[in-house]
Structure 1
Amino acid sequence: MYNFIRLLKLCKPHAGMLLLGAFLASLTVLANVGLLAISGWFLAAMAAAGIAGVHMNYFTPAGVIRFLAIVRTASRYGERMITHNATFLLLSEIRVKMFATLSRLNNVDLAMSRSADLVNRLQNDVDALDKFYLNVLLPIIIALFTIPIVMAFMSAYNAKVALICFISLMIIGVLLPVLLSHKLHKQADAETRLSAELKAELADTLKGSRELAIYQAHDAQLTRCDTLSQQYNSQLYTRHKAIANSNGLSTFVVQLTMLASVFVIIPLVATGAMKNVELAMLALFVLASFETVLTLPAAFIELPVALSAAERLFSLEDKQTPAPYKKHDQVNNQHALGLELTNVSYQYSGAHNDALRDINLSIAAGNKVALVGASGSGKTTLVNLLTGLWPLQSGSLKLLAAEHSVELSSLDANERFMQLTIVAQQHHIFDGTLRDNLRFAAPEATDKMLIEACKQAELGSWLNNLKNGLNTRLGTAGRKLSHGQSRRIAIAQALLRQGNFVVLDEPTESLDNHTKYSLLNTLEKVWADKTVLTISHDPVMLNRVDKVIWLEQGQIRAMASHAELVENEPDYVELITRF
C-alpha cells in the first residue's frame, strides 16, 4: 500500500489530465450500458407492437439511441486520446525521476549495483509502470464511479435484480481481484527479480564473450541463462494462466447472473407486475453492467507487478541521503586550494578491514603531491572521498581557501566540481565527435580553445592528421582511439577546466617517453599555480612533485620527497620499480 501511495503521488502533477481521462472512460462505459439496455427495450417493444398490430412512438427511443451512440463514440475517442497522453506524461515523470535518482546516488551505491541491473530498472521497471494508469488505476476509478450509478438505475426497476447484479459485481470486481492479488503477489516479486537477473546475465554474456571463449566457459554461462529463462517463463505462464482462469470465471459469473435475473423477472411478467418488453431490457442491462468491473481482475493481476517494479525503483530513491549543502562564496575565484584531512577512516560494506584508517595530512595551496601505494592501499578510496562521490564516514576533510577552511561535505556537487579538476584512470569517451567530448568539460569553449587544449595534451599532430578534425566521431566508448589517445583526451578536458585543485590518476599511463616528458612539461607550466594531487608510480612523475605520500594497508607509512624515500626506503624503491 505504501508503494501504491507513492505511485499516486507521482501522478499528482498530471492529476487533471488523469481525472479527465477517467471521466471520459466512465462516460463511455455508462453510454455503452445505457445503449445496450435501451436498444433491448426498443427492439422488444417494436416486436411487440408489430405482433399486436399497434403503432408506437419510435422517434424518441431512436433519438436516444443515436445520442448515446454519438456520446459513446466521442467519449471513446476523447478517452483514448486523453488517457494515452496522460500515460506518456506519467511515464516521462517516472523516467525523469528515476534518472535523477541514479544521478544523485553516491559511488558506493552505484559500485555495488550491476550496471545491467541499473539499466533494467531504468528501462524495464519503468516500462512496467507504463501500465499503472491504463491497466490498474483507470479500471479502479471507473468501477468506483460507474457502479453506484448503474445500481441506482437498476434498483428503480427491480431491487432483487439489482441485488443479484451487485453481488456478482462484487464477486468479479472485489473478491476475485483480491484473491488473485494475494496469490500473485510473491509471484510478481519473483517475476520481476528473474527478469532483472536474466537481462543482467544476458548483458554480461555479451560483454564478456571474449573472456568466456578464452576460458571455455560459454556452455556454463549459457546454461545459467537458459535456467533463468525457464524460471522466468514459468512465472509468466503462472500469471497468464491466472488471467485466463479469471476471464473464464468472470464470463461464467456474468452468464449465471443474467440467467438468475431472467428467472426473477419472468414471474413478474407473467403476473403483469412488469411489462414483457422490460424483460429484454433488464437482461441486457444486467449483461452490460459488468463492463464496469470486467477489467478489474486483470488490473489486480497487473498491480503486484507494478508494485514490485515500483519497490525496486523506490529502493534506489530511498538510498539517497541529502546533505545540508550551503553556498560558500569564500572558495570562489581562488588561484589554489589547500587540503586538510583529520582522522579520516573508511570501511567498505561487508569488509573486515578499513580501506583507510586515521589518515591525517595537510597539503598547502599550490603544492604538487603524489600518492603511491600497492593495490588496495587506499589511494583510490582517498581520491573518491576527496571528490565527494563517496560519503565521508568519519573524520574531517577540509578545503583550505586563503584564511578560510570549508568542509567538503558542505559544498554541493556543482560547487565541488567547480573547484576540482579530475582525470580518472577509467575515463569514458562518449559516442560523439571530438568536439562534443571536449565540450563536456567546457561547454562555452571555442574551437580555438579546444585545439589549444589538444596541443597541450600532446594531441596536436594526431588532430592535424584527422580528416574531419574536431568533427571526427570517436565511436562507442572511444573504440576508435588507442588507450594513450583516450588518456590524453581526458587530460585535454582537464586543461579546459578552471578548477583550483587538480586530481590526476596515473596521468602518464600508456604514454611513450617522448610524449610523457612533453606532456609533463606542459602540465607544469599550465598548472603552476594550482594544487595538484597525483596517483602515480612513475619515477619521472614522482621526481617532479614536492612531496610523496606513501600509503600502505590504509595508513600513511611515510611522507617525504621522492629523493628522500629512494635514499631511505628500500621497500619504496621496490614498489615504484615493480609498478
Structure 2
Amino acid sequence: MRNFIRLLRLCRPHYKAMLLGVFLTVLTVLSNVGLLAISGWFLASMAAAGIASAQMNYFTPAGIIRFLAIVRTASRYGERLVTHNATFLLLSEIRVNVFATLSQLNNQQLAMNRSADLFNRMQNDVDALDKFYLNVLLPMLVALVCVPIVIWIIAGFNPAVALICFCGILLVGVGLPLLLNKKLSRSAAQQIKRSAQLREILSDTLSGQRELAIYQATERQLAKCNQVQKSYNVLLEKRHKALADSDGLSLVVVQFAMLASVVILVPLVQLEQLPNVHLAMLSLFVLASFETVLSLPSAFIQLPVALSAAGRIFALHDRLPQAVDALADIPLCASKGDTNPEMQGMGLTIQNVSYQYANDPLTNALCSRPQVASEHYALQNVSFSVQANEKVALVGASGSGKSTLVNLLSGLWPEQQGSISLSRQMKAPSTSDISVVAKTLSFEQRSNLIGILAQQHHIFDGSIADNLHYASPEATKAQMIQACEQAQIGQWLQGLPNGLDTRLGSAGRRLSQGQSRRLAIAQMLLRQPAILVLDEPTEGLDNQSKQAVMQAILHAMRYSTVLCITHDPSLLQTMDKVIWLDEGQVKGEGSHQELLATQQEYAELVIRV
C-alpha cells in the first residue's frame, strides 16, 4: 500500500490530464452501455409494433441511438488521446525521478549496486510502471464511478435484477481480482527478480565475451542464461495463464448473470407486470454493465508487478543520504583561482580508524546470507596526520588497506570506527583555525574538497571539451588547453583537426590507455581540489612521460594537499612523507630515504615493484 501511495504522488503533477482521461472513459463506458440497452429496447419495440400493426415514433429513439453512437466514438477517441498522453507524462515523471535519484546517490550507494542492476531498474522496472495509470489506476477509478450509476439505473426497473447484476459485478470486479492478486503476488516479485537476473547475466556475458572465449566457458555461461530464461518464462506463462483463466471465468459469470436476469424477468412479462420490450432492454443492460469491471482482473494482475517494480525503484530513493548543510557557510575551500597557500590546501587527520567489510551494513544488505563476524580488519587502528600542502605517498602490498583508506576518505565506504577530520591552519592573526569531521559534511561538500584520480576512469561519449567540462563546467578554452598541456597531451591536441571539439567515442574508444589517463589528469588539474588523491597516477604511461606528468601535477597542485598511492621509486622521492601500510596497519612513516635506510621489508617491497 505504501508503494501504491507513493506512485499516486508521482501522478500528482499530471492529475488534471488523468482526471480528464477518467471522465472521458466513464463517458465512453456509459455511452456504450446506454447504446446497447436502448438499441435492445428499440428493436423489441419495433418488432412488437409490427406484430400489433401499430404505429410508433421511431425518430426519437433513433436520434438518441445516433447521439450515443457519436458520443461513444468521440469520447473513445478523446479517451485514447488523453489517457495515452497522461501515460507518457507519468512515464516521463517516473524516468526523471529515477534518474534524479541516481544522480543524487553518492559513490557509496552506487558502488553497492551492479551496473546491470541499476540499468535494469532504470529500464525494466520503469517499463513495468509505464501503464500503471492506463491499465491499473484508470480501470479502478472508472469502476468506482460507473458501477453505482449502472446499478442505480437497473434498480429503477427491477431491484432483483439489480441485485443479481451487482453480485456478478462484485464477483468479476472484486472476487476474481483479489483471488488472482493473492495467487500472483509472490510470483510478481519473483518475475521482477528473474528479469533483473536475466538482464544482469546477459550484460555480463556480452561484456566478458573475450574472457569466456579464452577460458572456453562460453557454453557454460550460455547454459546459465538459458536456465534463468526458462525460470523467467515459467513465471510469465503462469501470469498469462492466470489472465486467460480470469477472462474465461469472467465470461462465464457474465453469461450466468444475464441468464439469471432473463429467468427473473420472463415470469414478470407473462404476468404483464413488466412491459415485454423491457425484457430485451434489461437483459442487454445487464450484459453491457459488466464492461465497467471487465478490465479489473487484468489490473489486479498487473498491480503486484507494478508495486514490486516501484518498490525496487523507491528503494534507491530511500538510500539518499541526508545532506548536512550546517557547515555550508564555513570557508572550507578556497575560491577558484585563489593561489594563496593559506586558503588552498587542507590538513588531514586520521585517528584510530578501523574498518571491517563483514560488518558493513550495506554489504550485509546485499548478501543473501548474513555475514559471519570475522577477526580480519581491512584497517585496524590506523592513525596519521598530513599537513596542509604536504605531499604524502601511501605504500603497501596488495590488500594492505590503501584502497580502503581512500574509500573512507572520499566517502565511498561508511566510517565504522575512528574519525577522519579536515583542517586548515590560518596564518592571519584575526582568524582561527578551521577543523571539521569528514562524516558531518554532505557528499557535495566533500566532493568539492577532495578530488580522486582513480585507476579506472570513464570517458564519456562526447568531445574532449565535453569531458573536461564535467570536471569544471566554467572552464574556458584557454584553461582547458593549459590543463591538457600540463597533462602532456598538448601536442597531441594540437594535431587534431577539430581540437577540443574532437569526439572520443563510447567510453573513449578512440583514445589509447595512456591518452585516456592523461585526459583524466587534465580533468583533475581543472578541478583544483583542496586535497588530491592520486591512485597510481602514472599507470599506463611510458617512462619518458610519467615523470613529466607527475611533475606537472605537483606543480599545478602546489597549493593543494596530495595523497598519492604509488610504488614508483622515482615518484616516492618527490614526496614529503611516505606512509607504509601493511595488513591494515601503519608499519612505518617517514621520508622515502629514511624508510629505505631503516626498513629492509620496505626496500624489498619498493624494489620488487
2:329 maps to which residue? 328
2:534 maps to which residue? 504
State the shift of 1:106 in Å. 4.0
Please give the per-residue CA displacement for 1:187-232, whole angstroms capped at 9, x wherever unaligned: 1122111111111111111111111111111111111111111111
Distance 2:412 2:510 in 1: 29
- Map 1:273-352 onto structure 2 (within 5 A): 273-326=273-326, 327-333=328-334, 334-348=343-357, 349=360, 350=371, 352=374
Distance 1:179 1:95 in 2: 32
1:552 maps to which residue? 582
- Map 1:12-31 onto structure 2 (within 5 A): 12-31=12-31
1:70 maps to which residue? 70
CA contact (8 A) 1:30 1:146 kept: yes
- Tell me which moved more, 412-421 or 484-493: 412-421
Distance 1:395 1:88 in 2: 50
CA contact (8 A) 1:400 1:406 kept: yes
Tell me the TM-score normalized by structure 2.
0.92
Q: Does 1:263 align with 2:292?
A: no
CA contact (8 A) 1:106 1:391 kept: no
CA contact (8 A) 2:333 2:530 kept: no
2:213 maps to which residue? 213
Distance 2:182 2:530 in 1: 59
CA contact (8 A) 1:335 1:500 kept: yes
Amino acid corresponding to residue 463 of structure 2 in structure 1: T
1:382 maps to which residue? 405
Tell me the secondary structure at the aligned position of residue 376 of structure 1: coil
CA contact (8 A) 1:538 1:576 kept: yes
State the shift of 1:509 in Å. 1.0
Please give the per-residue CA displacement for 1:503-553, whole angstroms capped at 9, x wherever unaligned: 111111111122112222222322112111111111111100100111112
Distance 2:194 2:96 in 1: 25
Q: Does 1:88 align with 2:88?
A: yes
Distance 1:524 1:465 in 2: 26
Q: Does 1:566 align with 2:576?
A: no
Q: Does 1:143 align with 2:138?
A: no
2:157 maps to which residue? 157
Distance 2:304 2:443 in 1: 37
CA contact (8 A) 2:333 2:344 kept: no
Gaps in structure 2 of 5+ consecutive residues: 335-342, 361-370, 427-432
Distance 2:86 2:352 in 1: 53
- Tell me which moved more, 551-560 or 63-72: 63-72
Distance 1:135 1:316 in 2: 25
Please give the per-residue CA displacement for 1:115-159, whole angstroms capped at 9, x wherever unaligned: 111111111011101121111111111111110110000000011
Please give the per-residue CA displacement for 1:294-316, whole angstroms capped at 9, x wherever unaligned: 00111111111112212222233
2:451 maps to which residue? 421
One of 395, 416, 420 as aligned partner of 2:418: 395
Tell me the secondary structure at the aligned position of residue 274 of structure 1: coil
Please give the per-residue CA displacement for 1:39-64, whole angstroms capped at 9, x wherever unaligned: 11112212222332222222322232
- Map 1:169-188 onto structure 2 (within 5 A): 169-188=169-188
Distance 1:256 1:264 in 2: 12
1:478 maps to which residue? 508
Distance 2:417 2:321 in 1: 16
Tell me the secondary structure at the aligned position of residue 330 of structure 1: coil
Distance 1:572 1:312 in 2: 48
Please give the per-residue CA displacement for 1:235-280, whole angstroms capped at 9, x wherever unaligned: 1111111111111111111111111111111111111111111111
Amino acid corresponding to residue 522 of structure 1 in structure 2: A
CA contact (8 A) 2:528 2:557 kept: no
Distance 2:479 2:333 in 1: 23
Distance 2:518 2:205 in 1: 31
Tell me the TM-score normalized by structure 1.
0.97
Q: Does 1:462 align with 2:492?
A: yes
Q: Does 1:38 align with 2:38?
A: yes
Cα distance change, pair 113–525 in 1 and its aligned pair in 2 (3 A): closer
Distance 1:107 1:497 in 2: 18
Q: Does 1:97 align with 2:120?
A: no
Please give the per-residue CA displacement for 1:332-354, whole angstroms capped at 9, x wherever unaligned: 32221111122222222347222
CA contact (8 A) 2:454 2:535 kept: yes
Cα distance change, pair 178–123 in 1 and its aligned pair in 2 (3 A): same
Distance 1:288 1:456 in 2: 77
1:204 maps to which residue? 204
State the shift of 1:431 in Å. 1.1
Distance 1:148 1:517 in 2: 82
Identity %, equivalent residues: 59
Distance 1:340 1:565 in 2: 21
2:544 maps to which residue? 514
CA contact (8 A) 1:106 1:390 kept: no
Q: Does 1:433 align with 2:455?
A: no
Amino acid corresponding to residue 116 of structure 1 in structure 2: A
- Map 1:115-154 onto structure 2 (within 5 A): 115-154=115-154
- Tell me which moved more, 354-363 or 243-252: 354-363
CA contact (8 A) 1:246 1:297 kept: yes
State the shift of 1:323 in Å. 4.2
1:51 maps to which residue? 51
Please give the per-residue CA displacement for 1:457-498, whole angstroms capped at 9, x wherever unaligned: 000221122232222221211122121111100000111113
Q: CA RMSD in A?
A: 1.6
Distance 2:576 2:53 in 1: 114
Gaps in structure 1 of 5+ consecutive residues: none
CA contact (8 A) 1:325 1:409 kept: no
Q: Does 1:193 align with 2:193?
A: yes
Distance 2:295 2:100 in 1: 34
2:241 maps to which residue? 241
Tell me the secondary structure at the aligned position of residue 467 of structure 2: helix
Amino acid corresponding to residue 412 of structure 2 in structure 1: L
Cα distance change, pair 552–215 in 1 and its aligned pair in 2 (3 A): same
2:524 maps to which residue? 494
Distance 1:211 1:160 in 2: 73
1:358 maps to which residue? 381
CA contact (8 A) 2:452 2:534 kept: yes
CA contact (8 A) 1:343 1:360 kept: yes
1:110 maps to which residue? 110
Distance 1:491 1:62 in 2: 80
State the shift of 1:112 in Å. 3.2
Distance 1:202 1:576 in 2: 41
- Tell me which moved more, 536-545 or 338-347: 338-347
Tell me the secondary structure at the aligned position of residue 331 of structure 2: helix
2:474 maps to which residue? 444
Distance 1:457 1:39 in 2: 82
Distance 2:531 2:110 in 1: 25
Distance 2:549 2:315 in 1: 45
Amino acid corresponding to residue 399 of structure 1 in structure 2: L
- Tell me which moved more, 174-183 or 15-24: 15-24
Distance 1:99 1:86 in 2: 20
